[in-house]
Amino acid sequence: MSTKDLSYLIDNFTLKLDQSKDCSSLKKALETANLIKNVVNSSKWDDPNTLMELIRFTGKKIVKTSQKDLVLFNVICRMTHLVRTEAKNYRNTLEIASNTNNNTPKQSGMSTPVMGLGQSTYNSVGKLINLVELNLLQQSRIENTSRLNLKTFILQGINDFIEELENTRINIASHATDHIHSNEIIMTCGHSKTVERFLKNASRKRRFMVVITESAPSYQGHKLAAALASPDIETVVIPDSAAFAMMSRVNKVILGAHTVMANGGLITNSGAQMIAMAAKYHSTPVVVCAGLYKVSPLFPFDQDSFNTLVSPDGIFPYKDEISDQIDVLNPVCDYVGPEYVDLLVNHLGGHLPSYIYRLLQENYDDQDIVALCGKKLSALKKLKSSLSTAGIIGQKATVTKKDKKKSTDRSTEMQKKLASKLREIQNEMNPFEIQVNNKKDQVLGRKVRGESGRPAISRQQGIEKREKTLLVELDRSNKVGGIKDRRFGENNPSISYEEKMLTRFTKERQKQINKPNLYDLSDGSDNETLTHFGQNLADVDDYDNLGLDISDDDETSGAIDKRTVSNDHFGGFESVSKGSSGYSMEKGDGTKKTRAEIMQEVIAKSKMYRYERQQAREDDSLAREELDEEFNEIQSILASEGNFSSGKVFADKPQRNSTDELYDTTVRELIFDKRAKPMDRLKTEEEIAAEQKHTLEKAERHRIRRMKGIDSENIESKEDNGISGGKGVVGKKGSFVSSKKVGDDELPYTFDAPEDYNQWVELVDSYTLEQQLLIADRLRVLYHPSLSPQNKSRCENMFEVFMEHIAVLSEQDPPVPQKIIDGFAKHISDLASISPVAAGNFSRDLVVDFQSRMVKDMNQQSGTFRKYAPLASDLVRMRLLISIFSSSDKYHPVITPVILALSQYLSLSLISNGVDASKHVIICGILHEAVRLSRRYIPEVMNSLQLLMYSLLYVGDDKMGNGQFVGMFPLSNGQQKQTSKFRILVNGTESISDESGKSYTDYKMKWGWLTNEDEAIELVLGTKLALARSVLVLVEKYAQLYFAETSFPETFDPFIRMLGAFVDQCRGNKASCDIYKHALQVLDALNAIKSNFVVTKRKALELQKHKPVAIRQVAPKFDAAYSLDKHYDKFGKNNRENSVSEVEKLTKMHKKETRGAIRELRKDAMFLSQAKLTKQKEKDEIYKNKMKAAWSILETDQGEFKKEDRMNKKFKR
């Protein structure tokens, strides 16, 4: 085929593509592949390089006509890669065949290398240089392959590729059942035939629903919905704007693609980007179905790199008046980034987007991509021309037969020349090896040190030098000693071997002659041993005669005494005289005794002797005790008569006290102690949980048997199984509940785990609060997370149920016992530690709900008789969350919202009745617990406490000033009107306390104030005193919390002045009540802390004042006496005569050397760290290999054990 015919063929192909605009990607790929096949089959070419040039020529023309359609580009690149691969395989086949058929070795010599497959256009400079170095002197010419046979190979490869394209959709659809499951909701966008076949194939075995966006303005979604309706697939078409709302119910998103880019991004239908972003927000996986021919090796540099804009008339008509004032863009496709794609499905299967680089490496070549993109490989062409000019490659490098007969010296000299030329070319073609420093000025004939350098070579030399010095020191570090050869003549090369041996022998003999034991009569042997009574002293035990051995009469030893052994064991049984202490072999009637009778008699006699010895020992012990008691009396008598003087006789001998005697006694007793036995190992948490669950299940079975009247014969005793027949299980200390038969009202031992609060209510509706707590305990035991993986989700449900239940219990009126609340709180805390993430998410939802209800209630008009947030249950749960989670973190996802919500209530709510005041007091206490560790300052708490103290301890404006204190947060008009309700009149305190008969400490806040159905609480004196007492306690606690803050005087100054005015008022009155004492105590504590601060007048912050800087003048400074022969410094002064310049030189030199030393030290540190890391990796690798070997042995043994166990079970059957 001529060039003219080829151009005509390409023009017809491009015209056909332009006429069929709605042609699918697969059809374009097939048409392109058939075109390349026609070019290969009809063109005349001699080698693969010519064929690839033809394919590239064809590809350039095709790509130029449709630059946005990357499928054509992909197919052309795939074809060139296929030709290169098939030709390489064909050449390898010929080489193998020639090596098999020919037994003669190949001729060697210098020849021109053939630019075969993979060498026509080199991948990199390094590969070409390595190729030249390998084939510099030994290259052989490969015979030209048969064009017909090679064409057959290539055409077969092209046919396989075309077959792969034709079966792409079928192969992709075969993987549908692996990715689509029953009852799933799948969303897709637009119409893709690959996705259509994928869904239809999955519908044969799966039932699912497909949600299709209509993909306006083309509305291709309706076309896909109509196609999916035929196989009876449940299909829903939604507008594009409803994709985000629907995504929360979707299980999977399946998209088609026009092109898959090299970074994993997609060029796909318009609207897919919005769906992918919604899927990522809802964590919905995105699966892309695209053939391998759509995977492109190109990277998109922006979103519109490979996109096409069309007329916007379809979405915004030009007839509108506003059309001239706005710009409307209508892209054909959307670019979906790789971060939105989870899986790529092609005919090979499913791959992650990160796997695309492997597909590109296996199916594309960089040189084809660069050639089709229109770029020139200038660096490689320069390298080829340089090598050809130097004679390394090309016709000049051909070695003739005459050259082979020349001398070897000439060949060696030629090798050196070629190697030097190659190094020069390598240096010229690799500019990164040379670093050139830019010069400010160019001076002819001047050579500057450091003008250019080779950092790679310098780095390598530095590494080699450090390996010889630092690495050796590192290996020798922390090692002491070594072998130093100090043998005579070893380091003297002038002495022969015989002379060295003779000299060494002489010195050894001299050492033996001069030894100190000249008068030792022994022959120097080491075989003498010391004996005593013929027994070696080394074999004698030093403790044999100390009386520490076990006596013969030890009852626990179980041994027979010596007399019995001497008479009856081997020394007896022969002749025993009558009346002796021995045992007779005959009975009284003359018959011979049996062996059993003899041994029975021996045992009886041994026991009798042992008893006699015990009685004698006890008698001796009693006698010693009596003598010891009488010894003190005898000693006192002798001392009184003068015959015994304890001071003279025992002056030098210290008396043994009772402690010493006790120690000796204990040492003697230790001899008779038995050897300690190893304890049973402690049970793990999983084993304890499993045992407790087994105990409950066993007790439940016995309970059911008792209810049915069946006698349970297998019930073990309570000492064995640790559980009674009544209600209750083993307690923390192992206490048992008495077992007795009960009726049907007995509390069961096992329960089903409740999934929500309604099931919990049905479960515990007929039980008391104590029994409910017991049911919670048993549920925790039955569904421990270590028993089953599903128990973790059950524990998460129980956490939510118990949180709801504790809220219900907190709202009871009258309040439930504190023990019940604490019991459920402990369960909630333990369940939160099992699954902290789920507990945190649920707790955040609780806080959000509480905050929304609180804001809504504060915005409503007052006067309605109902409870307002925060309720008693809200406060209990907020306090519980602070106890469960860490409150000392700077930011915590649960505690921080709790603090913000409670602070918001303190700052926005009004205190209009006793319930509001009690809520403020309780919230201040909860926030104190929240900031107890972090000591974080909360201004809302200080404002609330100041308001409460101002309302309760108000003594009049004449004492406090006009209206409010200076420093208090301003009050609203509505709040100022409500403060008069809470006033405590000092004159009435004493009389009311006398009437009620209660002291000040008896007035406490009641939980019923929050759970009472009435909105308001009567503000009697008792209520006011309880609130005042709580406020004073909280003020003192917060003072102890913020005692180290610099702003303590300003923060607590309002409290000090209010308490001072109240104390003065009470002191002037005769009513000396307890509230006065309490207020005085808090006032003294605040003053004591304030006295530690130096109170000065605080000044407002100001900008730092600086001296004004004069504007720098730009007028030049002229020196009339300036001379070129003199040296001037940077300030324009001539200091050649002074020593300042020399000092500056030394300073510069010192700085330079310092920088160099620091640089070298850093390099040394990096080298040492790398060496240590390498050594550690080697150790880890050795350890890993050892562990692998050990594990392999253990696994083999375990396999053998299991095999043997299976065989035993098989034999038992």
Judge whether residue 900 has pLDDT over 60. Answer: yes
Q: Which residues pair with 295 in a beta bridge?
A: 260
> Is 764 within a domain?
no
> Is 1203 within a domain?
yes
Q: Which of 720, 750, 780 is the last residue of a domain?
A: 750
Query: With b meaning 16 or more CB within 10 Å and e meaning fewer, what string describes 247-258?
Result: beebebbbbbbb
Phi, psi of 210 (to 5 degrees): -115, 125
Judge whether residue 1068 has pLDDT over 90. Answer: no
User: Could you tell me if 809 and 821 are in contact, meaning their C-beta atoms sit under 8 angstroms apart?
Assistant: yes
Cis peptide before 285 (omega within 30 of 0): no
Confidence grade of residue 425 (pLDDT, cut at 50, 70, 90): confident
> Is 820 within a domain?
no
Q: Is 844 exposed, middle or buried (0-12, 13-18, 19+ CB in 10 A)?
A: middle
Pair (896, 1031) in one structural domain: yes
Pair (283, 155) in one structural domain: no
Pair (111, 241) in one structural domain: no
Judge whether residue 721 has pLDDT over 60. Answer: no
Radius of gyration of the chain (CA): 51
For residue 1077, the one-letter residue type is K
Q: Which residue has the higher pLDDT, 652 or 869?
A: 869
> Is 1107 within a domain?
no
Q: Which residue has the higher pLDDT, 543 or 504?
A: 504
Q: Which residues pair with 343 in a beta bridge?
A: 287
What pLDDT score does 576 carry? 44
> Is 407 within a domain?
no
What does DSSP assign to residue 397? G
Q: Which residues pair with 630 in a beta bridge?
A: none
pTM of the model: 0.40
Structure tokens at 777: 């305990």
What SS3 state is found at 1113?
coil
* Number of domains composing the chain: 5
pLDDT in tens, 992-1002: 444 455 666 76
Pair (308, 195) in one structural domain: yes
What pLDDT score does 499 carry? 86
d(CA 1135, CA 1127): 7
> Is 964 within a domain?
yes
d(CA 347, CA 1198): 42
Query: Which of 1156, 1176, 1170 lies closest to 466 in space, CA to CA?
Result: 1170
Specify the CATH number for the domain of residue 27.
1.20.120.420
Residues 305-330 have a mean pLDDT of 69
Confidence grade of residue 329 (pLDDT, cut at 50, 70, 90): confident
Residue 801's contacts (CB-CB under 8 Å, 6 or more residues apart) are 754, 756, 757, 760
What pLDDT score does 137 carry? 35
Pair (159, 175) in one structural domain: no
Query: Which of 145, 30, 150 lies closest to 85 in space, CA to CA?
Result: 150
User: Could you tell me if 166 and 291 are in contact, meaning their C-beta atoms sit under 8 angstroms apart?
Assistant: no
* Range in 191-205, 757-771, 948-962 with the lowest mean pLDDT: 948-962
Q: Is 869 exposed, middle or buried (0-12, 13-18, 19+ CB in 10 A)?
A: buried
Q: Which domain holds residue 936?
A: 835-1090
Q: Which residue has the higher pLDDT, 416 or 468?
A: 468
Q: Which of 1065, 1090, 1115 is the last residue of a domain?
A: 1090
User: Could you tell me if 76 and 63 are in contact, meaning their C-beta atoms sit under 8 angstroms apart?
Assistant: yes
Q: What percent of the chain has pLDDT over 90?
A: 15
What pLDDT score does 543 carry? 46
Residues 473-487 have a mean pLDDT of 78
> Is 438 within a domain?
no
Confidence grade of residue 1150 (pLDDT, cut at 50, 70, 90): very high
Phi, psi of 1128 (to 5 degrees): -120, 145
Confidence grade of residue 403 (pLDDT, cut at 50, 70, 90): low
What does DSSP assign to residue 321? G
Please, what sign has the CA dihedral across residues 681, 685, 686, 690? Answer: positive
How many residues would you count in the chain?
Answer: 1213
Confidence grade of residue 516 (pLDDT, cut at 50, 70, 90): low
d(CA 415, CA 409): 10
Pair (156, 176) in one structural domain: no
What pLDDT score does 666 carry? 79
pLDDT in tens, 358-369: 888 888 877 677
Q: Which of 704, 734, 750 is the last residue of a domain?
A: 750
Instruction: Starting at the earlier edge strand, list the strands of the sheet with 234-238.
Output: 234-238, 209-213, 185-189, 252-256, 286-289, 343-346, 349-351
Give the side-chain half-sphere CA count within 13 A for 1212: 6
Pair (160, 188) in one structural domain: no
Cis peptide before 312 (omega within 30 of 0): no
Judge whether residue 1187 has pLDDT over 90. Answer: yes
Which range in 79-93, 436-450, 552-566, 659-673 is most confidently predicted, on average pLDDT? 79-93
Q: How far apart, in Å, are the Cα atoms of 958 and each of 65, 640, 963?
A: 97, 91, 9
Query: Which of 195, 20, 170, 48 lies closest to 114 in space, CA to CA?
Result: 48
Pair (136, 210) in one structural domain: no
d(CA 1159, CA 839): 53
Structure tokens at 14: 């491009």
> Is 740 within a domain?
yes
Pair (143, 285) in one structural domain: no
Confidence grade of residue 146 (pLDDT, cut at 50, 70, 90): very low
Pair (229, 272) in one structural domain: yes
d(CA 526, CA 243): 100
Which range in 447-451, 715-719, 1205-1209 is most confidently predicted, on average pLDDT? 1205-1209
Q: From the centroid of its chain, how far is CA 270?
A: 40
Query: Which of 251, 242, 250, 248 lies closest to 221 in space, CA to CA?
Result: 242
Judge whether residue 389 has pLDDT over 90. Answer: no
d(CA 450, CA 52): 48
Residues 673-702 have a mean pLDDT of 76
pLDDT in tens, 596-639: 888 888 888 888 888 888 889 888 888 888 887 777 667 666 65
Confidence grade of residue 279 (pLDDT, cut at 50, 70, 90): very high
What does DSSP assign to residue 546? T
pLDDT in tens, 851-870: 999 888 888 755 554 567 78
Pair (124, 243) in one structural domain: no
* Mean pLDDT, the chain, integer: 75
User: Could you tell me if 344 and 356 are in contact, meaning their C-beta atoms sit under 8 angstroms apart?
Assistant: yes
Judge whether residue 898 has pLDDT over 90. Answer: yes
Judge whether residue 397 has pLDDT over 80. Answer: no
d(CA 265, CA 261): 5
Judge whether residue 127 has pLDDT over 60. Answer: no
What pLDDT score does 100 carry? 52
Pair (124, 229) in one structural domain: no
